[in-house]
Amino acid sequence: MPNTKKYTNHSVDEIDIYLCKIKKQIEKENFIVPATNKRADNQNFINNYHLTTKKQKNMLMQLEATDFCYSADDYNNKIEKHYIFAKEYELDFWGSISNILVYIKIVQKEDNFVVVISFHEAKKNVKYLFK
């Protein structure tokens, strides 16, 4: 896997603008959260917490600039950047309600389609850029 550069030189305004753009696409349901064997973490998370597409959309619409961690190069497409967020949500795990820190990696494609590459429980501590 090639090296990718991590970026933390973003302003709050820049991330607010990015979120505004992707939320417009999410609102129009112009997004996907891949939940295939290749993305087993996403699949397990979505299944374990019974996250319908509507619930996923609602969770993504709650993202704020203060949830932003960093961006990174896409090693497959040098033009695109991945934006990484982490947000705590109150979720239902088979009747047990818990606050879960969710790791969210997003890329907006050239056609404005939004791909939520990662959407699962955070596996390690996160460092927020604006908190």
For residues 128 and 109, the answer to whether their CB atoms sit within 8 Å is: no
Give me the mean pLDDT over the 10-36 stretch: 94
Give me the mean pLDDT over the 119-129 stretch: 95
**Domain architecture of the chain: domains with CATH:** 6-121 (3.30.2310.40)
From residue 37, how far is each of 41, 77, 80 by CA, in Å? 9, 22, 24
pLDDT value at residue 38: 73
Phi-psi region of 111 (alpha: psi -120 to 50; beta: other; left: phi over 0): alpha
Taking only the tens place, the pLDDT of each residue in 51-87 is 999 999 999 999 999 999 999 987 776 678 999 999 9
